[in-house]
Amino acid sequence: MRKLFLPFSKPTIDNKMIKEVVDTLKSGWITSGPKVEQFEYSFSKYIKQKNVISLTSATAALHLVLKFLDLKEGDEVITPSMTWTSAVNMIELNGGIPVFVDIDPSTLNISIKDLKKKISKKTKAIIPVHFAGQPVDMDAITEITKGKKITIIEDAAHALGSYYKGKHVGKNSDFTIFSFHPNKNITTGEGGIIACKDSFAAEKIRILKSHGLDKNGQSRFLKKKKIFQYEVVQPGYKYNMTDIQAALGIHQLNRLDEFIKRRTILAENYNKFFQKMKFIQPLSVAKYNFKHAWHLYIIKLDLEKLNISRDEFMRRLTDLNIGSGLHYSPIHLHKYYKAKYFYKHGDLPNTEYCGNCILSLPLFPKMTNKDQKDVIMAIENIIFKCK
């Protein structure tokens, strides 16, 4: 057994990143300023999308997109139940009705077949999740929604660095949400970005993120413009990213391709091992053209043959000093949503099946080959004792 605990995720922080943050602290400018502008510019170039807006979190990003859409009573927003709760909470808090769609159990991505069934005249938006870094088949969703006034909001919290048919995810959708939480492919501590296809929408969302101030009001302290007056054009929020966060993000983004290269090597090592192992199955790889960002490495346990629960499997990993994660517990069966919308077991069979048997294994750029061998040995140990 390992002597030290191996977490399932750990951010990579180097001396350049630390120096950039320290320089920012010493500069006297620590809220939104030149570093945020630089980070947004670099991010825009990386994903090749002109309109990007940095925020305090991906949750804030989704909040503002849904606020911009101005959901009315009865408006439905379709999303997988296999997602993080913030996405569904934002639908609920913005007055929409979350409509849960089942998943493809082989990839955990949205089921196109079930999505077709769930679209109605009340559907205002669809939020597909690029699960674990593997892009959804966006062409199929575009085809389904052709001719309908339905907004596509790509949840790319897992997918920075993922490409779909030669283009970075979100390049052609209405809105795309990215996350910079510490367990993501790059981090700003906390933070997020909205990528917008439409410049008008981007400008409106920029106003919403900064108290509802017009452009002059938002930039009145920048570049010595000597603008003292400000104008509130609508009620807004305070969701601005700080220069401290952006200072970290600038150098994280510079190393993103390097991070993904290491993640890919580790993922391929896992794949080779699990091809030979009974009772455990990795997620499948889709047949269409894409590049995987490998945010997570998820396995499915054959619980019947193992005669052990997923939670007990995770506890035994912890006892062997190996961390793991759960991504995710189906939202439609959580107390609030189950009670309000009368969901029950069996409504989303693939989601429920996977929700009981999946777990995420350690995967991060600083993870060594020895670390990965320790994970594999721990899994072998648990399986041997389950027989």
pLDDT computed for residue 216 by the predictor: 55
Q: What CATH number has the domain bearing residue 120?
A: 3.40.640.10
Q: Is residue 1 assigned to a domain?
A: no
Tokens of 127: 């939020």
Cα–Cα distance between 196 and 94 in angstroms, integer?
19
Using 50, 70 and 90 to split pLDDT, how confident is the model at 227? low
Co-location of 372 and 382 in the same domain: yes
Label residue 72 by pLDDT band (50, 70, 90). very high
Same domain, 271 and 211: no
What is the average pLDDT score of the chain?
95
Provide the pLDDT for residue 311. 97
Residue tagged 């790059």 (tokens): 186
Alpha-carbon span 266 to 262, nearest angstrom? 6
333 phi and psi angles, rounded to 5 deg: -105, 5
- Report yes or no on 10 lying in a domain: no
Chain-centroid distance, C-alpha 341: 25
Other beta carbons within 10 angstroms of residue 101's beta carbon come to 24
Does residue 39 sit in helix, strand or coil?
helix
The predicted pLDDT at position 62 comes to 98
Q: Are 214 and 231 in contact (CB under 8 A)?
A: yes
CB–CB of 330/352 below 8 Å? yes
Quote the pLDDT of residue 276: 86
pLDDT tens per residue, range 315-366 = 999 999 999 999 999 999 999 999 999 999 999 999 999 999 999 999 999 9
Element at 66 (helix H, strand E): helix 58-69
- CB distance 129 to 80 below 8 Å: yes
- Phi, psi dihedral angles at 112 (to 5 degrees): -65, -40
Q: What angle do CA 309, 314, 319 make, to 5 degrees?
A: 125
pLDDT band at 198 (very low <50, low <70, confident <90, very high): very high
User: Which positions ≥6 away from 276 have C-beta within 8 Å?
Assistant: none
Q: Residue 7 falls within a domain, yes or no?
A: no
pLDDT in tens, 256-302: 999 999 999 999 999 999 998 889 999 999 989 899 999 999 999 99
- For residue 177, the cross-strand partners are 155, 194
The reply to whether 200 falls in a domain is yes
Query: What is the model's pLDDT at position 1?
Result: 79
Going by pLDDT thresholds of 50, 70 and 90, the confidence category of residue 217 is: very low
Asked if the structure places residue 4 within a domain, the reply is no
Task: Write the pLDDT tens digit of every residue in 93-125.
Answer: 999 999 999 999 999 999 999 999 999 999 999
* Residue % of the chain over a pLDDT of 70: 96
- DSSP β-bridge partners for residue 125: 77, 151
| Residue 184 is among the residues annotated as catalytic for this protein | yes
Let me know whether 44 and 179 are in one domain. yes
- Greater confidence (106 vs 170) lies with 106
Any domain includes 210: yes
State the DSSP H helix or E strand holding residue 16, giving kind and residue range, or none if neither: helix 15-27
Of the residues 227, 254, 281, the one at which a domain ends: 254
Q: Which of 237, 254, 271 lies at the terminal end of a domain, its last residue?
A: 254
For residues 219 and 292, membership in a common domain is answered with no
Q: Given its phi and psi angles, is residue 74 left (phi above 0), alpha (psi -120 to 50 degrees) or beta?
A: left
User: What is the predicted pLDDT for the residue at 224?
Assistant: 54
Nearest Cα to 81, choosing from 38, 44, 26, 118?
118
Domain assignment present for 9: no
214 band by pLDDT with thresholds 50, 70 and 90: confident
pLDDT at 172: 80
Boundary residue ending a domain (233, 254, 275): 254
Residues 302 and 312 in one domain: yes
Kindly state whether residues 212 and 266 are assigned to the same domain: no
Q: 121 vs 73, 248, 360, CA distance in Å? A: 13, 44, 37
Report the CATH number at residue 347: 3.90.1150.10
Q: Is the pLDDT of residue 385 over 90?
A: no
Q: How many domains does the chain have?
A: 2
Indicate the burial class of 286 (C-beta count within 10 angstroms; 0-12, 13-18, 19 or more). Answer: middle
* Residue range(s) defining the domain that contains residue 245: 15-254
**35, 184, 291, 300: the active-site residue:** 184
